[in-house]
Homo-oligomer: A and B are copies of this chain.
């Protein structure tokens, strides 16, 4: 059987989950000429997608019925499993040979298990965590860290091309994409904590924080996260672009994986404690750069806008 015969209708796509990422990904695919049906638990979001020219569905199964590609844009493994196998789960309603593209960040072992269950039904599974944020999702410029069978890649190709500026093809089994994403999340989570530990330490010493930012971003101490997040601290603006709770989830997965594999990860562990403390102190839904405010509270350092109320969602 060729990939082509296995995947009739591969240009018909269902997107399950129209949050800030999923909505943009659905828009990007529609713009690329794909026939996109969107579903979300929040029906007004579906209506907004319909108002912009997309198709809407009242249930997940209705959304996937004619789709050659199902793109799942939910938050974690538990939600992904519910999309597939929960009440009204889509696995039982997908067309034979269709591909399930999973974008949630999760433990690679869970990705492998979901893939096996999906493939046993005569479907394909692409492990395809995403990186880049809502703005890049809307522009079709995400980075996707993908792994799966040749057939899964072939079937998903039109969707991948429409959603991403860069697709890393990391191997022919599910789990590898998830594993590489977790390596990225380990580093990202530690670097945000380090950036906040450093900038609040600078504040504690009374240094000119704008000058410190200028020096560090031109020096060997720089990181993508320092450069990206510290401007939030300098502006005293903790409006959540990415919340503290995201890294409680992702560094939690790192810790679970590391514990299961008997791998000591003391940097990731120390960072996770700070995210937990920030959430415990009421900043869980604020921007992850709120760790700087936590360090300031714990030390008496003074930051711009430090006494603003935590974000109310």
Interface of A toward B, CB cutoff 8 Å: 108, 131, 143, 145, 166, 168, 170-171, 176, 179-180, 183-188, 190-191, 193-195, 197-202, 204-205, 207-208, 211-212, 214-216, 218-226, 228, 258, 261-271, 273-274, 295, 298-301
- Interface residues of A, dominant DSSP: helix
| Shortest Cβ gap from A290 to chain B (Å) | 16
| Shortest Cβ gap from A300 to chain B (Å) | 8
| 6 contacting pairs across A/B (C-beta < 8 A) | A143-B218, A179-B207, A180-B202, A191-B191, A220-B225, A267-B271
Beyond the given A220-B224, A270-B270, please list 10 additional residue pairs across the A-B interface where CB-CB is below 8 A: A108-B205, A168-B215, A180-B207, A186-B197, A186-B201, A187-B221, A187-B222, A188-B221, A190-B194, A197-B268
- Quick one: which of B131, B176, B221 contacts A224, CB cutoff 8 A? B221
**Interchain CA distance A275-B289 in the complex, whole Å:** 27
Q: When the two chains form their complex, are residues A184 and B261 in contact, meaning their CB atoms are under 8 A apart?
A: no
- A215 with B267, Cβ < 8 A, contacts A221-B191, A299-B261 known: no
Name the B residues within 8 Å of A187 (CB-CB).
194-195, 198, 216, 221-223, 226
- A264 with B299, Cβ < 8 A, contacts A187-B221, A222-B224 known: yes
Those 10 A-B pairs whose CB atoms lie nearest each other, nearest first: A187-B221, A223-B223, A184-B221, A270-B270, A190-B194, A266-B270, A263-B299, A222-B224, A188-B221, A194-B267
Q: When the two chains form their complex, are residues B221 and A202 in contact, meaning their CB atoms are under 8 A apart?
A: no
- A264 with B298, Cβ < 8 A, contacts A184-B216, A222-B224, A225-B220 known: yes
**Interchain CA distance A184-B298 in the complex, whole Å:** 21
Q: When the two chains form their complex, are residues A211 and B131 in contact, meaning their CB atoms are under 8 A apart?
A: no
Q: When the two chains form their complex, are residues A184 and B270 in contact, meaning their CB atoms are under 8 A apart?
A: no
Q: When the two chains form their complex, are residues A183 and B207 in contact, meaning their CB atoms are under 8 A apart?
A: yes
| Shortest Cβ gap from A69 to chain B (Å) | 23
Name the B residues within 8 Å of A299 (CB-CB).
261-264
Name the B residues within 8 Å of A180 (CB-CB).
202, 207, 211-212, 215
- Quick one: which of B166, B195, B212 contacts A218, CB cutoff 8 A? B166
**Interchain CA distance A188-B191 in the complex, whole Å:** 10
Name the B residues within 8 Å of A220 (CB-CB).
131, 184, 188, 224-225, 228
For residue A191, which residue of chain B has the nearest CB? B223
